[in-house]
Amino acid sequence: MTFDLTAMRAQFPILEQEVYGKPLVYLDNAASVQKPRAVIERMTDVLTGGYANVHRGLHFMSNKATADYETARESVRKYLNAASKDEIIFTMGGTDAINLVAHSLGVAQLQEGDEIILSVMEHHSNIVPWHLLRERKGIVLKWLDVSEDGDIDLAAFEALFSDRTKLVGVTGLSNVLGCEPPVQEMAEIAHAHNALMLVDGCQKSVHGPVDVQALGVDFYILTGHKVYGPNGIGVLYGRKKILDQMPPFRGGGEMIDKVTQDEVTYNDPPHRFEAGTPPITEAIALGAAVEWVMQQDIQGVQAHERALTDHAMEALGALNFITLYGRDPEKGPVVAFNLEGAHPHDVSTILDRSGVAVRAGHHCCQPLMHKLGVTATARASFAAYNSHEEIDVFVEALHKAHNMLG
């Protein structure tokens, strides 16, 4: 297969519009990517010809929706190379998936004084749920430092373990620095110390299929809106042996086996963790999204995103009024920066008037911002449909912002 940028862009209707009379240059993909026509049309198909509540219904429409819903689960299983689709739990998003693990483990397995190791570059979604356990159960949080480029010292990582360490939580790809932690090696170290390994893969999984079995992780998190799918849907992958031991996160319909006035028994995973009516349309569309990704020239897309990142880093690195954060030459397509003497919010606002959409703020990574000695950065991030010409427009807009704010 040969990567064709023109054909790729043609699949995204939103890219045809203008902003303030200028072509849209969407560089906020680390926050949420745009949707290809295949996903949009799949959602329309469900809502116009295949919607009903899933499971337990005996009529045609319910059977069709259930089959489509479970087919989507199988698509996600393939995308993550899970051993069984029973290891794929649909959630309301990545944040919801991490909260599920934190709450379920906290109830069933964690005691006061037990330890959880987190890196300082985690998204708040992989920090706050563990802080809740710290506040409510006396769990101890231990912090893994990283270099300013996001490098991890594995010896320092292993030195954090004790016989009370129960879990490690780490990002699959930093949404600020763009670096990728050595997840497989970290999982091996965690397991050697009888601890579980959770990876927040929301940033990583958009760039191609993931092999959770090869990584050796116990939990992997995916969110729909960052993998060309809809929002309101996410995935928790969990090893079946572990899920079987975890109590429910929420109570309601579907997650039960039997309910009487005196007791409740629970369904097997994954249904044990999918209480109530699930996000049916969104789950089916997520299945369409990961199938769409798997149909692409993955190596071509990754090479294109690599070239975009290198182009942006070289162009911004040549500007004496820009500070870049995260310079790993193998980093993912995320470029965090600040313009000298200007607040990132002001920079973002001026870029927007040139049609360029970037993110500005702490990116839900305040511990990392503290590490970097800033309160916020601007951030450009790239997806398969972005072009080198768009980066040039972005750089030209930065010059305008510097002239106005510098």
d(CA 279, CA 292): 20
Instruction: Tell which residue, 24, 12, 45, has the closest CA to residue 288.
Output: 45
Instruction: Tell which residue, 78, 90, 76, has the closest CA to residue 279.
Output: 90
d(CA 292, CA 300): 15
d(CA 154, CA 170): 13
Q: What is the DSSP letter of 257?
A: E
Contacts of 189 (CB under 8 A, 6+ apart): 154, 157, 158, 161
Query: Distance between terminal CA atoms of the chain?
Result: 45
Q: Which helix (H) or strand (E) holds 283?
A: helix 280-295
d(CA 134, CA 116): 10
Q: Are 33 and 383 within 8 A, CB to CB? A: yes
- 3-state secondary structure string across 182-222: CHHHHHHHHHHCCCEEEEECCCCHHHCCCCHHHHCCCEEEE
Catalytic residue annotation = 364
Q: Cβ atoms within 10 A of the Cβ of 258, count?
A: 9
Place of tokens 């999984």: 205
